[in-house]
Every structure is written in structure tokens, then in C-alpha cells.
Structure 1
Amino acid sequence: MTISLQYTNITVNDVDESLDFYRDALGLQVQNDVSSGDFRWVTLGLETQPGLGIVISVPHAGRSQTDGDTLQELLTKGVLPFLVFNSDDVDATFETVRASGAEVLQEPIDQGWGPRDCAFRDPSGNAVRIAQAPKD
């Protein structure tokens, strides 16, 4: 039996504003863009990892009013789970993302447990970390 991750979801306040971050600053490609009524789900991914996507949507997309309100509250507090991306050059990636105007949470540093990493907030307040494996 083989199992692999296909999609993960990121809740955002504004899909278009988030595309500026995930597509333009991080370099992910739009794989799918689906609308239903007032809502939209955009799947982004990388050519180097076919079959793995990140789906961005607003809190109420496909959810009840109550669940959407709860998710919106958690998003506003900045307590939703964060994402971690890998980069082969975290310093260059940091400079690209910082130049986009993203809020810097942590400049690149060498962590005691191995990776060199940095952190940002996306336009909705989600924490995004970018890590580089330690050099041998």
C-alpha cells in the first residue's frame, strides 16, 4: 500500500491578495481555480512536486456560517497551523519574499537542531516558515 499527501488547505481572508504571496513571492504555480457562488478555491503547487497542492480559500467557503465564523476568528487571532516550505537557498528565498512586502517574523538563522530557516506572515496572518537542510 502506498499513501501520499495530495492537498492541504490554507484559510485566507482574500484569495487574490494571497495569490500575490503564494504565487508571486514564493513561486508556486496555479494548478486549478474553482468558483462556486461567492466562493473560490485556488490550488497551487510546484512542477517539482506533481500531485501535491495547497488549496487557498476564505473561511466560509464550503462551510456553515457558524463554522466559517469560528475559522475566521482563529485566522484573525493568527493561531491556525503554519506551513513549512523547503528551499535550496533560504537566504535568497528570504530576500525575494521580503521584497514582496511580506511581514518578516524571523530572518534566516541556523537552528540548533539542524536547518537554517526564516519565517513570514502571509497577508492573512498565517505563519509560513522556509527551511534549508543543513549543509554537510
Structure 2
Amino acid sequence: MFNAITISSIFVLDQDEALAFYVDKLGLEVRTDQDLGFMRWLTVGVPGQPDRELLLERPGAPAHDDSTAEQVRELVTKGAGGGWIGLATDDVHKTYEELTAKGVEFTEPPTERPYGIDCGLRDPFGNAIRINQPK
């Protein structure tokens, strides 16, 4: 039936700030940045992995009316927006050091787990990000 998940989304409060974080700090690349009139369609992805994109979506039309968009913005501001991203790396310690040098603040340093080594951070809007080096 299905053969892939191609696009996932998270809510961000400022797409330009999100773009700076995900591209300039995390090293993702812009896939699409298009003004659709009713919204800005802004996606990023891991270089070399063209089949998966992350939509950096602002709460609002067309998905939300004004009242709902405000409630979503409040949840995102509290870190309760429900966004969660998992990124894989071959060397989590090196990635941790490189991102720390770029000013990325981590919520958890690299930690040994049964499935590998991972660490945690949040984007500027409170969305959780896990970076994993699988076993």
C-alpha cells in the first residue's frame, strides 16, 4: 500500500528563525520555500536524503482558524506543541561537539542506551529533537 513517509511537519512560531536554526545550525538543507498565498510552504531535509522532508509550519490558515492558531502558538511556546524529530548520525559525540560550538543548547548530553547513543535538544520553539547513533 504505502512505501514511504515523505513529509512530516512541526509547528514553529517564526519560519525565518526556524530556517536559520535548522539550516545554519543543524545543517539541514532547504527543499522548498514557496509563498502559496495562504501560507508559506517551507521544507527542509537531510542532505543526500531527498525522499523525506520536514515542513516548518506556522500555526494558522489553512489548518487553523485564528482562535485555534493562538492556542497552538501558546502550546508551542510552552514546549507542548507535540513536535518531535529524530535525527541519525554516525558519530553522536562529534555531532554534539560541532553543534555545541555553533551555540546549540542541549537538554541531554550523549548517553549510552540499549539501542545506541543519543542526546537531546529543543529547537527555538520547544520542539524536541533526539540525535541518535544507532548500534
> Which string of whole-angstrom CA distances, capped at 9 and with x for unpartnered residues, describes residues 46-91 of structure 1?
2422221001021125221122122112201212231111111111
1:48 maps to what in 2? 48
The 3-state SS of whatever aligns with 2:10 is strand
State the one-letter code of the partner of 2:19: L
1:64 maps to what in 2? 65
1:8 maps to what in 2? 8
State the one-letter code of the partner of 2:96: F
> Which string of whole-angstrom CA distances, capped at 9 and with x for unpartnered residues, describes residues 4-56 of structure 1?
10100011111111112211222111011012447422111124222210010
Aligned pairs (5 A) from 1:53-132: 53-62=53-62, 63-79=64-80, 80-111=82-113, 113-132=114-133
C-alpha distance in 1 between matches for 2:102 and 2:124:
11
The TM-score with structure 1 as length reference comes to: 0.87
Gaps of 5+ in 1: none
Indicate conservation of the 8 Å contact 1:21/1:100, yes or no: no
Aligned pairs (5 A) from 1:20-31: 20-31=20-31
What value does the CA root-mean-square deviation take over the aligned residues? Answer: 1.7
Gaps of 5+ in 2: none
C-alpha distance in 2 between matches for 1:28 and 1:51:
14
Change (3 A) 1:53 1:16: same
C-alpha distance in 2 between matches for 1:38 and 1:91:
41
Change (3 A) 1:61 1:86: farther
Indicate conservation of the 8 Å contact 1:40/1:61, yes or no: no
C-alpha distance in 1 between matches for 2:36 and 2:11:
16
The size of the alignment, in residue pairs, is: 133
C-alpha distance in 1 between matches for 2:27 and 2:124:
16
Indicate conservation of the 8 Å contact 1:31/1:44, yes or no: yes
State the one-letter code of the partner of 1:70: Q
Identity %: 37
Q: Which stretch of the first structure deviates more once superposed, 70-79 or 40-49? A: 40-49
